[in-house]
């Protein structure tokens, strides 16, 4: 397990467009067990931290395969300020210093953060996923 500290930054609205597309929405739902909030929560981190997080996602994460003109992405579970989320690393991105996060919750409001506020992303290994996913699915299904 490791932790990365970054700062919340506003996105350009691109994440909302992609998370709302039926293909991505359904693939995210299959992986995470919940319906994603239509948008991403962006965290600026150092380039080395970004590369380390991407490496974890590519080596041990879940893959959304490209389809037609739509690019693929890697997903990896995490917590941001203690709230469960998923890091998303789209194949087609310009960001090399921002991590995009998705959740069934609107993270900005849930966390009560403003642009520039520090946030903590905690990442753990695949052995924790089963427990993480079961509690995530129970929460999203109302159990």
Q: H helices within 70-112, ranges in order?
A: 107-111
Give me the chain's average pLDDT, please: 86
* Core vs surface per residue 21-59: b (16+ CB within 10 A) or e: eeebeebbeebbbbebbebbbbbbbeeebbeebbebbee
Architecture of domain 2-137: Beta Barrel (2.40)
Indicate if the pLDDT at residue 60 is higher than 70.
yes
Indicate if the pLDDT at residue 140 is higher than 80.
no
Indicate if the pLDDT at residue 88 is higher than 90.
yes
Indicate if the pLDDT at residue 35 is higher than 50.
yes
Using CA atoms, how far residue 71 sits from 89, 91, 103, in Å, is: 11, 6, 20
Q: How much is the pLDDT for 7?
A: 97
pLDDT band at residue 138 using 50, 70 and 90 as cut-offs: very low
pTM for the complete prediction? 0.84
């Amino acid at each position: 397990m490791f932790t990365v500290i970054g700062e919340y930054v506003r996105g350009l609205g691109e994440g909302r467009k992609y998370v709302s597309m039926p293909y991505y929405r359904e693939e995210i739902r299959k992986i995470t067990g919940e319906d994603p909030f239509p948008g991403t929560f962006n965290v600026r981190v150092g380039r080395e931290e970004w590369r380390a997080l991407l490496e974890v996602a590519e080596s041990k994460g879940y893959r959304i395969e490209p389809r037609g003109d739509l690019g693929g992405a890697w997903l990896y579970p995490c917590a941001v300020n203690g709230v469960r989320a998923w890091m998303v690393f789209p194949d087609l991105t310009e960001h090399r210093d921002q991590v995009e996060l998705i959740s069934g919750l609107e993270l900005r409001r849930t966390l009560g953060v403003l642009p520039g506020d520090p946030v903590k992303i905690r990442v753990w290994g695949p052995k924790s996923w089963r427990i993480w996913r079961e509690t995530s699915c129970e929460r999203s299904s109302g159990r």
